[in-house]
Amino acid sequence: MNLNGGLLRLTGATGISASIDTVNINSGGANIEVGDAVSSIAAAALLDGGGGGGLTKTGDGSLDLSGINTFTGPVSVNAGNLTISNYGGLDANSSLITVAGGNAGLNLQMVGTGATSDSYAQNLSLNGFLRGTGGSSGNTLSVTWSGNVTLGGSGTINPNGNTSFDIDGQVNLGA
């Protein structure tokens, strides 16, 4: 599937789950909408189709990026959850991650057992939430964020379970 400014929408009855294998994001970017809070899409890989297109996540549902994603444009979470459940789930060349207020959030989630570490170099503008889930009984997630982080009025960072966040970049409050 190729998206070049188009919209991929999952709507209908509540509680729908869908999966997609590979999406090429071209210069116009991709808008993925998951309609309601109990529906979800699992995407194996969002690839760079050329031109630096980004991803916009809308709708109250969840989008789970479980593969290695190589698109290089900005990421915007305008509503619902974007879950990164794979080490290196966002390409280091992605320039900016923006999480809007309200129910919008970015989840970094450990998959598997043991200790996992992940790092992000992008700048982050956070008005929603950033959550890490390391699991329990010996499973840990250590996240290093080297890009600058701007926390808006409702922005929160919430490490759950056995998760730690190290922010090495500049932190700006109340933007």
Render pLDDT for 89-120 as a digit per residue (tens, 0 to 9).
Answer: 776 667 788 899 878 888 877 655 566 777 88
Those residues whose C-beta lies under 8 Å from the C-beta of residue 85, and which sit 6 or more positions away, are 64, 65, 66, 109, 110, 111
Of 14, 22, 18, 11, nearest in space to 40 by CA: 18
pTM of the entire structure?
0.85
Render pLDDT for 19-28 as a digit per residue (tens, 0 to 9).
Answer: 888 889 999 9
126-147 exposure pattern, b = at least 16 Cβ within 10 A, e = fewer: bbbbbbbbbbeeebbbbbebeb
Span 135-160, mean pLDDT?
80
Give the per-residue pLDDT at 79: 92
Side chain identity at residue 46, one-letter code: L
